[in-house]
Structure 1
């Protein structure tokens, strides 16, 4: 182990992928106070970015005033990061000149394919007086970048740190030894390691890098970081304390307590989708969006990742749907009103025997199994499993419909419905939410040339406080109804026969139609 090992904490910078780089001031102050009293050498506090159209919080830009506050309270070296793909040498006057004396090191996030370009940027940063670190990503795929490793000798007069970044969280200790040996043979620059924890090997990989002689290692409080997260700083310090490093565990406990509510809220850490993506070097960005921001089931995420692993667009194809023509269609949603007004809905259907019934979800299908009308079941996400749970093989009759090929999350169909499943050729009324059951149902109604589309069970969500899942689904349905009305409102009568909070839906009482 290198006796001059430096420990870098990057909780605010890497953890910002969960909070959009917003952290409560009290949390930051508790963090700085703890770091001042722990054996940590560098704090990477955030990015310096050129203004963009997307929202980034405080530590996505790390303004001058923020760095001034940190500098006045922090006794450790302060690091900011530049993203090479978004930064030109001409941007440095704006990004770095104002923070001279406030930050000690500038680390540059680098795609190996852009190494030559990054070297130019790094030289410009170096001339400004900062320590310069190369955060070189995609470590598990470096062998695919021809000639990249042979250029590392160019770092010797420029970089103060070359950090090997296991972006996908998939390298092994043996990989560390082999790659470290190659890097060490190419450059005299100090070497660091930044591990992600997809396969729960953040600690062993970091310890292996240290045994190889690494000069720097990264970790974060509670492992907070993009995707599956990073090596837990508290775990690293506990291990190093066993090896003789002095650690104040009361202080360490205080900072863990400060970040625990964020862990409870965002629930970062490894799971099966992150494990699969790590083992197969699949980018974390998409996986993190699936796991964190959408109501996709683990099964659908795993299926999508399996398709990526096998380098296929989708795992199945089905014949194209040839819709029957129908003047009127009923779309059954998953809201409670479908059950509250079930007898009236059934009576309405009985009066309209030629009206196809489209189930956007299998949540309530068991209540309609005696209905004789044509039945269509939308299969998106986890609906196949829900359908198998709520409808036995002997109870199934009808047709299952899939979105157009290829499907974002791959394809899953109940075994008993494999012979009666079809996919739409295209979605015509919107370019958004192609994986939505509502999109599928409205597209089917258009394909059937329906003049009247009756909706039941689209209740909307009451209350001022909605879960993220409820908010996403509410916004999705609102957008789809508004888009449909704008495009086809003069041709198709879209009406809810049960109570609905969606303002773009005209509402009639189902009872007035009985």
Structure 2
């Protein structure tokens, strides 16, 4: 009989950074205990890393104990990211879990399965059921032609072998073919983990079952990396209707409601970019990053996906920015926050007051640009993502001789839209020198422009930050901006940097534009 493995907290953690509220996890655990789900994979078990990840990326012992408390009858396990561990790490990672966890799976690149076999042997000696989650199923035949025959060496080592449709790109007949081949080689339980880019996760799961699959992965509301997975509630409803399984729908609906509310905030599930990436077997990590970062338009993302498919960067090559080595004593970066509009009168007066200084404006976003259209100083626009379309609506009011558009360095992953009338006014940076992260963001471009122009005094307006409880997009944007601002301050002591409107951002000197007017 088919068995269900729910991995909601593990796979859903890609959206929440593996932090979940206690009430939600308790409801989830209680529901899983009451439902006909055999295996619960509660998260990753990871070594200490340099960036923050939450509870369910590390699954400390108390998390495991809590899961066992609410799910005493279930097989509870964790997954390891095989590329991040060595056999010598396993005692440190899993030693305290002996007798507390039932199974350990490993997420594995098919190119590394032999290396993973050594780790599996050590894990099995520790008393755990051992599972392989092998990625990139759609590429096995073309890129790893001997893989399925070679994994016969895993017999006697692994207790389960899950085939992962990483790109959500497979069709049911392909799933049947590969499942049958794997079944002919391996004697362990065979599993299937389907991603839902093309909305075929359910159909592909049924195809895998038809071909003899033993274990099916699913997540509540389909929560999971990128486009997400087979929905647990959908599959259990099917099993109740078609196979007569006893499903406690009251318990199920309680946890589904919790995750549906979270879905309103994070927005997982398939969409046009995920569909295109699925049909072309393109990586989910990049697409997920682009989709959740709001300054990328759908057209930009689709162009980037086409570039990835064709294995090329953005094919629009532009002249080098500031090849004539302009220099400005002072510059003001205008962001998209409300203060960029509210303080526009004062900022323009400050520019007039300092007319003896060479000054320019740098628009990190064109959202507030219209307030500065009447200035007779050079203005630079950061052209990232959807800004070209937004700029088309405002540039008609500007003196074209005072406008320049600046793009990230070539080649760019993201497709770039440059308004036709601004092609002769558009340039690209040769490099982003002050930061190794977020190099194609609005803020990174604006700060690099200031560096290229040898600015001595840099004022920043319209970087307000956020009040109260914020969503994931706002949190990510805050993290980006604070990192970039700290880098420009730390690495460029010769440049005076200060915000001049009210801001929640830390680490940068905060002055008042109104106070500057009294100097």
TM-score (norm 2): 0.87
Q: SS of 2:318's equivalent?
A: coil
Matched, 1:6 2:3: yes
Distance 1:164 1:498, change over 3 A: closer
The partner residue of 2:38 within 41, 46, 67 is 41
Q: Which among 56, 75, 78 is matched to residue 76 of structure 2?
A: 78
Corresponding position of 2:267: 267
The residue number in structure 2 matching 1:184 is 183
Equivalenced residues, count = 509
Residue 263 of structure 1 aligns to a residue whose secondary structure is helix
User: Following the alignment from structure 2 to structure 1, what is the Cα–Cα distance between the partners of residues 436 and 85?
Assistant: 32
Residue 150 of structure 2 corresponds to which residue in structure 1? 151
Q: Give the direction of change, closer, same or farther, for the CA distance of 1:408–1:69 in structure 2 (3 Å limit).
A: same
Q: Secondary structure at the match of 1:108?
A: strand
SS in 1 for 2:517: helix
Aligned to 1:276: 276
> Residue in 2 aligned with 1:198?
197
The structure-2 alpha-carbon separation of the partners of 1:5 and 1:383, relative to structure 1 and needing over 3 Å to count, comes to same
Summarize the Cα distance change of 1:87–1:318 in structure 2 as closer, same or farther, 3 Å threshold: same
Could you tell me whether the CA contact under 8 Å between 2:296 and 2:384 is conserved in 1?
no
C-alpha distance in structure 2 between counterparts of 1:253 and 1:120, whole Å? 42
Q: Within the alignment, does 1:118 sit opposite 2:123 as a pair?
A: no
* Contact persistence 1:348–1:513 (CA under 8 A): no
State the distance in 1 between where 2:330 and 2:419 align. 28
Q: Is the 8 A contact 2:152 2:186 kept in 1?
A: yes
Residue 481 of structure 1 deviates from its aligned partner by: 4.2
- Distance in 1, matches of 2:10 and 2:487, equals 38
SS in 2 for 1:129: coil
* 1:405 equivalent among 410, 420, 423: 410
Whether the aligned pair in 1 keeps the contact of 2:18 and 2:57 (CA below 8 Å) is: yes
* 2:300 alignment partner in structure 1: 300
1:423 Cα offset (Å)? 0.9
Verify the 8 A CA contact 2:79 2:106 in the aligned structure 1. yes
Q: What do you get for the CA RMSD once the two structures are aligned? A: 3.0
1-structure distance, mates of 2:252, 2:69:
22
What is the deviation of 1:235?
0.7
Unmatched tracts of structure 1, length 5 or more: none
Q: 1:464 to 1:105 in 2, by over 3 A?
A: closer
Pick one of 330, 333, 338 that aligns with 1:331.
Answer: 333
Q: Deviations over 1:288-342 (max 9, x none)?
A: 2333366544343333333222211223210112243344444333343443344
Q: Does 1:380 align with 2:348?
A: no
The alignment partner of 1:413 has SS state of: coil
Return the alpha-carbon distance in structure 2 between the equivalents of residues 196 and 486 of structure 1.
Answer: 43
Secondary structure at the aligned position of 1:509 is classed as helix
Distance 2:328 2:97 in 1: 67
User: C-alpha distance in 2, partners of 1:174/1:276?
Assistant: 20
Q: Distance in 1 between matches of 2:457 and 2:70?
A: 66
**How many angstroms apart in 2 are the aligned matches of 1:107 and 1:362?**
48
Distance (Å, rounded) in 2 between the aligned partners of 1:164 and 1:133? 11
TM-score normalised by L of structure 1: 0.88
